[in-house]
Amino acid sequence: EEQDDNHFYTDNEVDFDNDFAEINDDSIEYEYENVLNGNNSTFGVELEFVGGNANAIARELYDLGIVSSPRRLGYHSRTEPGKWKLERDGSVSDGDAGGEIVSPILKDTPETWEQIKVICDVAKRHGARVDQRCGGHVHINMEKLDTARQRWRRFFKTIEVYEDCIYRAAGGDLGRVRSNARHYATPFSPRADESKYIRFNMDNDEDVRRMAAEISEGNRYYGINLTNIARDRAPTVEFRHFNGSLNEKQIQANIKMAAGIINAAEKARFRDTEDEIFKKRGNILKNTSRLGGTQTKKKMMEFLDLTFPRRKDKNAILNVFKKNEWR
């Protein structure tokens, strides 16, 4: 069941200023229960790291029953249902060091969040770390968007207007989004804007694939990657903006944000809804635009209000905003 605090920074700028001033890592707790606020979308993560002993990490995680193999596997190796895997990745692997830890399909359960914490602890204990080369991609199941044209429209408008907020949060613990994001997570907002001028049918799955192919131009290196949908490989929207992280609180914040964006696209309607609070969120999205700048406090407040019905989720992202600069 979704909880809603009916709290809006856009009505309470002083609240935003106070929270921003006081917030820090210690004030954010790592959660295990109902982390995504009743959102039952499945998701996945890819955690790149450098350094460390990749085979030792794999061995310990294998002994704990978390990964499918006791050693680092080759790039894009076979997946075992329900098991994570540690793979080689050319952009971060060097000898026995570095790699990418890839999740199976995950749900918002205590076990999922426990595994993420254990993986971070084990990786760091064996010397893994992240730097500007590492990404931490998040995949969210697209079932909330499905064949609903208006939901896709709301999703695209959210990215068009708030992608700079996403890039700021994507910096994670590194202070700024990684420099190679220009190549590996190219701004999607121009494509999102272009989508307004493209007519597409939305009657069946094939229509969704066609739309995804046209909007993505077949390019998987946009910050929002739709090519898995376009190629019918997986029904997921991939958020590629995020820097790598081995901090479980940061990974949790990234997943909250990506899931929250998709959830808002489903629910933030400004008509045909009985829910007055969500209508208010719908009106934030309806009335916003890129005018007045996209790297502003106002945009941060709007984005948090649109995406998170619970204040504690807003705070998890606000803490990341505070640690980072605009790109």
What pTM was estimated for this model as a whole?
A: 0.97
For residue 23, pLDDT beyond 90: yes
Angle, CA 322 vertex, CA 175 and CA 35 arms, to 5°: 100
pLDDT band at 270 (very low <50, low <70, confident <90, very high): confident
- Residue 108: which of 265, 262, 249, 252 has the closest Cα? 252
pLDDT band at 76 (very low <50, low <70, confident <90, very high): confident
More confident residue, 79 or 163: 163
DSSP-derived letter for residue 11 is: G
User: In whole angstroms, what separates CA 204 from the centre of its chain?
Assistant: 26
Per-residue pLDDT reduced to its tens digit, 144-177: 999 999 999 999 999 999 999 999 999 999 999 9
Each domain of the chain, given as residue ranges in start order, spans 9-37+138-323, 51-129
pLDDT attached to residue 274: 75
Torsion of CA 254, 309, 229, 134, to 10 degrees: -10
> Within 10 Å of residue 157's Cβ, how many Cβ atoms?
21
**CA atoms of 105 and 119, how far apart (whole Å):** 16
**CA atoms of 118 and 248, how far apart (whole Å):** 9
Strand-pairing partners, residue 239, are 138, 224
Q: Is the CB of residue 269 less than 8 Å from the CB of residue 148?
A: no
Token pair, residue 149, equals: 């044209």
Give percent above pLDDT 90 in the chain.
94
Mean per-residue pLDDT, 239-248: 98
